[in-house]
């Protein structure tokens, strides 16, 4: 729904970014809790593997062969989680580590009985920090149920306090994990968005391009970078004040969001410069894409001094190993467009 109409042209409604609702669905902000989980996960997973190795050695010395087989299996799971965590495959690593923790705790309780209950508290809390709570909650719940099913462990008359502490630990860990994940997600989203225009900022751009470079080869070569900025933006600020400049940036972001397709993304790189990551497929399609964007801005963007135009430089992905090299080609094309007189688009060869 349009809240503040800046320009209506051929049925299009462009709305200032600061007042648009809802936000564009194409922008994706990486999940901060996943990034934060990497630190405890890379500590807890190898620690669990080491503890299980020592437990397996003790079982072997005590000739508990069935329990030893289970312990070795859990050790292998914990080792796999450690390797995957080091390779930043955090989701599957977290699941494996949580399963190894819970399984090891159940096995220790089966063998050592009440002596092993202290490990339960560590596992219930640590699982919430190494995997999403949607996974940690059922794994921890299965652990509690497994402990309850072991005869004489928690339901014995002398163990009501242990059962109460385990239930409280489970509930506290679940609640705290959900609250922490929600708060951190909101903080990450705020840190990745430009406050003025509402589009992702340079930090989000660098993260997205780094992921793009290591993505599927066929997909990479179908994408293009477009670098654009407002022509004579300094004049807008100098003649009409910074409020007019801010309004121009906000309105430009709204126009770009409206014109982009679902699979495209726009970022504010800094100052009056924006970057578009677009899936165009071919150089010819990129030429048509940039011209459409240039024309849409030319027809719709206005300031106190009249029409405001943009210049654009585009570059198809050409096998660069670093996203900075890809960006440099598009940026050089932008400067060529400026040299040609502005209000134009140039595609890198």
pLDDT in tens, 107-128: 998 998 888 877 888 888 888 8
Known catalytic residues are 272
- Both tokens of 46, joined, read 């190898």
pLDDT in tens, 330-340: 999 999 999 98
Instruction: Please compute the mean of the pLDDT values over residues 297-319 and round it to a whole number.
Output: 92
Q: Where in the chain is the domain with CATH 3.30.70.270?
A: 5-14+197-347
pLDDT band at 28, cuts 50/70/90?
A: very low
pTM: 0.54
- What mean pLDDT value characterizes the chain? 81
CATH number listed for the domain at residues 5-14+197-347: 3.30.70.270
- Both tokens of 96, joined, read 């494996």
In this prediction, what percent of the chain has a pLDDT beyond 90?
Answer: 42
């Amino acid at each position: 729904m349009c809240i503040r109409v800046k320009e209506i042209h051929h049925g299009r409604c462009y709305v200032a970014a600061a007042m648009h609702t809802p936000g564009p669905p194409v922008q994706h902000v990486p999940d901060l809790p996943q990034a934060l989980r990497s630190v405890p996960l890379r500590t807890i997973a190898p620690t669990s593997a080491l503890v299980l190795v020592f437990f397996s050695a003790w079982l072997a010395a005590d000739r508990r062969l069935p329990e030893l087989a289970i312990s070795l299996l859990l050790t292998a799971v914990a080792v796999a989680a450690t390797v995957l965590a080091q390779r930043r495959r955090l989701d599957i690593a977290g699941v494996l580590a949580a399963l190894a923790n819970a399984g090891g705790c159940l096995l220790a309780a089966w063998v050592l009985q009440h002596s092993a209950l202290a490990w339960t508290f560590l596992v219930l809390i640590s699982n919430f920090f190494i995997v999403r709570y949607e996974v940690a909650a059922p794994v921890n719940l299965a652990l509690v149920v497994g402990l309850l099913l072991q005869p004489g462990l928690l339901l014995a008359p002398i163990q009501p306090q242990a059962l109460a502490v385990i239930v409280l630990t489970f509930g506290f860990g679940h609640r705290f994990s959900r609250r922490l994940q929600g708060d951190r997600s909101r903080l990450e989203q705020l840190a990745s968005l430009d406050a003025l225009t509402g589009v992702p900022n340079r930090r989000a751009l660098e993260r997205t391009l780094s992921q793009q470079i290591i993505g599927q080869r066929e997909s990479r070569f179908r994408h293009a970078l477009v670098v654009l900025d407002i022509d004579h933006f300094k004049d807008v600020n100098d003649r009409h004040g910074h409020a007019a400049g801010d309004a121009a940036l906000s309105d430009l972001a709204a126009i770009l969001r409206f014109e982009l397709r679902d699979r495209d993304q726009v970022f504010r790189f800094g100052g009056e410069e924006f970057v578009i990551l677009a899936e165009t497929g071919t150089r010819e399609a990129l030429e048509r894409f940039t011209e459409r964007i240039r024309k849409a801005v030319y027809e719709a963007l206005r300031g106190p001094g009249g029409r405001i135009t943009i210049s654009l430089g585009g570059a198809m992905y050409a096998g660069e190993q670093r996203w900075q090299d890809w960006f440099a080609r598009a940026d050089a094309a932008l400067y060529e467009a400026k040299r040609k007189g502005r209000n134009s688009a140039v595609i890198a060869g």
